[in-house]
Amino acid sequence: MPIEPARLSFTDDGTPQSEAYGDIYHSRDGGLEQSHHVFLTGNGLPERWQGREQFTVLETGFGLGLNFLATWNAWRQDEQRCGRLHYVSAELHPFTRTDLATLHARWPELAPLAEELQAQWPALTPGFHRLHLGEGRVVLTLLFGDARTLLPQLVCQANAFYLDGFSPAANPELWSEDLLQLLPQLAAPGATLATWSVSGPVRRALAAAGFECEKTPGFRGKREMLRASFPKSGSADRAVESARRHAFVLGAGLAGSSIASRLAEYGWLVDVVDGAPGPGHGASGNLAGVLRPLPSLDDNRLARITRAGALYGLRHLARLSAQGLDVRWDACGVLHLARDPVHENKQRKVVEAHSPPSDYLRFVDSDEASRLAGWPLPVGGWWFPGGAWVNPPSLCAANLASRPSRIRCHYGHSVERLERVGDEWVAYDASGKPVAAAPVAILANGVGVRGIAQAAALPVRSARGQVTHLAGGAGSAPKVVVCRLGYVSPAIDGIRCAGATFSVNDDAAALRDADHKENLAKLDFILPGFASLQQLADPAGRVGFRPASPDRLPMVGALPSVIAIERGTALTAIPRHPDLHTIEGFGARGLVWAALAGELLASSLSGSPLPLERDLVDALDPARFLLRPIKHPIMDE
């Protein structure tokens, strides 16, 4: 369902209001003071987060973000604060970045935090959006859409609940018994709750859900507010114990470097092992790749995950660049042309149906597409203004350099087998010498994973891809990345990348003239007449072998310890190797998957709220292939 932004409006006394709901966003007596009295003090904060490794707040209505900013500010000022603050909040009608800036200007004391939030404010698209703020120690997970749909999809252990939103009379859905009954599934042991509402139905629904409720003095003109606690056991803790937060990762490509970077930010010590002399030498070694989503009319799983992955990936690149790391990329925009007039009409209908924000996606006709590309084009298509080309080796290197005190790289070491020794996994080379050991092991070594016995259940295929390199002057066409059953990049260091082939179970490592011809044919389809201008007396390029999965989705999570299981078995009931995980099967979309997949696995291992909906997490589970037959071969992506 398209996201309809909130409309900025004020009452006569200047209080922000919603004309759609006929209610105000905060008390007329002071929004910031109300946040402190009701939600912070009502949940025993800051005292309850002190001395903890992490603390999670779950809010039912983000609104203009004042509760979040107040909480972040209180956390920042507390010298005994927890190591990491997670804040999860749902919002059906988020404000635009411009309107947020207008609203936040009312609280100049919060300006530095508000500006950081606005700088990372995501495109208003449905689903989960994860932002890393405060040098990575404040993690905001925004759920854009209906809370009744999204909260059941959330994997989270909240220590404190902020029940906020318009009044039960104005917005009864957000206070419904069905929604409040979900909270125990999202509660950590000893969770607390606070809200300004003392509505009888709300109190009774919370009591029925297991919360012990009490009325306490409300904020200024309001006589009472509600506090509650959840004393029962709550959901099981998923986190790896702090003393065991040491992992080794096999592979220093996009997958391995991404999980290493994310784990290191969450406080882990990570050893990265790779047989190559440096990062990004295998399938991640191309000069340039494409970062953009793949929409669909029905907004299917592939569309949802590529949207989440592309948006998170762009924010990740921006963070690395802000750290001063030398990652090479350019959000020049990506033009995804239609294959033919029928497909062009389908692309137009996708945009009409989903009404995405124009800074994320819009449909352009052939004339505008031609202007964007700098080349005459016969069709229009999708234009992603924030889409990018990325140099994968530089991204791998930047990931591994992002936390130098916590990431140790061991190059030139090929791992032949793994063995569980006591409470650790040990990796051995061909001579039987141990090269790495840690309580947690993560396989991210691409097609090499097929040589690891414990990964026998993974249907990883090797997909040979050849890219053709073409000479190109700076500023020459195309000026943006252009895709159409293939892709061509702008000139990077005087070279354009065109391709790529996709050949499953093809082990030929040498460049092939036939593949160059195939890439030139694709190029001519993308930019008619362009290929005839290229001089290929001595064609150049690169061959890589990409790990691909049968359903074109990556594999992220705990490795199954069996190779067959009875159909109908729940994913959670499939036996797993203890503390052995994988991040694999990226295929031709490594740049789209890598950062988000790393964040997903790191969050799961660290007991943090997950950055994706539960059904999408299940869609990436490495054990999924045990529950259904593989009907179709992998196709060219």
**pLDDT value of position 239:** 66
CATH of the domain at 207: 3.40.50.150
User: Is 356 or 630 the better-scoring residue by pLDDT?
Assistant: 356
DSSP 197: -
The contacts of residue 571 (CB under 8 Å, 6+ apart) are 618, 621, 623, 624, 627
Q: Alpha-carbon distance 350 to 348, whole Å?
A: 5
Show which of 517, 548, 579 is a domain's final residue.
Answer: 548
User: What percent of the chain has pLDDT above 90?
Assistant: 87
Residue 474: what pLDDT? Answer: 77
Does residue 305 belong to any structural domain of this protein? no
Considering the domain architecture, whether residues 89 and 169 belong to the same structural domain is answered as yes
Is 423 in the same domain as 529?
A: no
Q: What is the mean pLDDT of residues 455-459?
A: 96
pLDDT digits (tens, 9 = 90+) for 331-341: 999 999 999 99
- How is residue 16 annotated by DSSP? B
For residue 262, CA distances in Å to 132, 186, 601 come to 11, 23, 9
Average pLDDT, the chain: 94
Mean pLDDT, residues 280-291: 94
Whole-number pLDDT of residue 496? 93
- The answer to whether the beta carbons of residues 360 and 386 sit under 8 Å apart is yes
Q: pLDDT at residue 37 above 80?
A: yes
More confident of the two residues 167 and 399: 399
Q: How many domains, the chain?
A: 3
Residue 295 lies in a domain: no
pLDDT tops 70 at residue 84 = yes
> What confidence tens digit (pLDDT) does each residue in 361-370 have?
999 999 999 9
Question: Which of 548, 578, 610 is the endpoint of a domain?
Answer: 548
> Residue 630 has what pLDDT?
66
Question: What distance in Å separates the CA atoms of residue 117 and residue 589, rounded to the nearest whole number?
Answer: 29
What domain range is 542 assigned to?
315-390+461-548
Q: Look at residue 637 and tell me if it is in a domain.
A: no
Rounding to the nearest 10 degrees, give the CA dihedral for residues 302, 304, 308, 311. Answer: 90
Question: What pLDDT sits at residue 479?
Answer: 92
Q: Tell whether 198 and 115 lie within a shared domain.
A: yes
Instruction: Kindly state whether residue 382 falls inside one of the protein's structural domains.
Output: yes
* pLDDT score of 636 more than 50: no
Residues ≥6 apart with Cβ < 8 Å to 343: none
Q: Residue 146 has what pLDDT?
A: 96
Check whether 632 has a pLDDT greater than 60: no
The predicted-structure confidence for 572-585, as pLDDT tens digits, reads as follows 999 999 999 999 99
622 has pLDDT over 60: yes
Q: Please tell me the distance from the alpha carbon of residue 635 to that of residue 462, in angstroms, as a whole number.
A: 12
Tell me, what's the pLDDT at 7?
92
Q: Which residue type is seen at 371?
A: R
The whole-number pLDDT of residue 442 equals 98
- Are 498 and 486 part of one and the same domain? yes
Specify whether 213 is located in the same domain as 253: no
CA distances from 434 to 422, 425, 450 (A): 15, 10, 20
CATH number assigned to the domain comprising residue 270: 3.50.50.60
Residues 6+ apart with CB under 8 A from 477: 373, 374, 375, 527, 530
Return the pLDDT at 27.
Answer: 76
The CATH number linked to 351 is 3.30.9.10
Residues 6+ apart with CB under 8 A from 347: 336, 338, 363, 380, 381, 382
What burial letters (b/e) apply to 343-364, b meaning 16+ CB within 10 Å?
ebeebbebbeebebbeebbebb
pLDDT band at 39 (very low <50, low <70, confident <90, very high): very high
| Closest to 612 (Cα-Cα) out of 240, 154, 55 | 154
Summarize the confidence of residues 159-171 as an average pLDDT.
Answer: 92
Residues 145 and 120 reside in one and the same domain: yes
On whether both 73 and 178 belong to a single domain, the answer is: yes
Indicate whether 309 belongs to any domain: no
Residues 96-133 pLDDT 10s: 999 999 999 999 999 999 999 999 999 999 999 999 99
C-alpha distance from residue 390 to each of 60, 117, 297, 363, 479 (Å): 36, 25, 27, 23, 15
Confidence of residue 631 (pLDDT cuts 50, 70, 90): low
**Residue 445, pLDDT above cutoff 80:** yes
Kindly tell me the burial class for residue 120, based on how many C-beta atoms sit within 10 Å of its own C-beta (0-12, 13-18, 19 or more). Answer: middle
Residue 284 vs residue 537, higher pLDDT: 284
Q: Where are the alpha helices (DSSP H) in 276-383?
A: 301-322, 341-354, 366-373
Mean pLDDT of 406-435: 96
Residue 319 and residue 379 in one domain: yes
In a domain, 105, yes or no: yes
Q: Is residue 291 part of a domain?
A: no
Say if 421 falls within a structural domain.
Answer: yes
- CB-side exposure of 298: number of CA atoms within 13 Å? 3
Domain boundary among 230, 262, 296: 230
Q: Are residues 356 and 413 in the same domain?
A: no
Question: What CA–CA distance (Å, rounded) separates 249 from 505?
Answer: 25
| Per-residue pLDDT at 237 | 52
Residues in Cβ contact with 524 at an 8 Å cutoff, skipping those fewer than 6 apart: 530, 531, 532
Same structural domain, 253 and 110? no
Question: Which pLDDT score, from 0 to 100, does residue 535 have?
Answer: 62
What is the per-residue pLDDT across 201-250, written as a single tens digit (0 to 9) for each? 999 999 999 999 999 999 887 889 999 999 866 455 566 777 789 999 99
What per-residue confidence (pLDDT) applies to 233?
61
Q: Are 453 and 488 in contact (CB under 8 A)?
A: no
Share of the chain above pLDDT 70, in %: 96
Quote the crossing angle between the two packed helices 392-401 and 301-322, to the nearest 10°: 60
Confidence of residue 476 (pLDDT cuts 50, 70, 90): confident
- pLDDT value at residue 25: 84
Co-location of 516 and 411 in the same domain:
no
Same domain, 470 and 441: no
Q: Specify the pLDDT at position 31.
A: 84
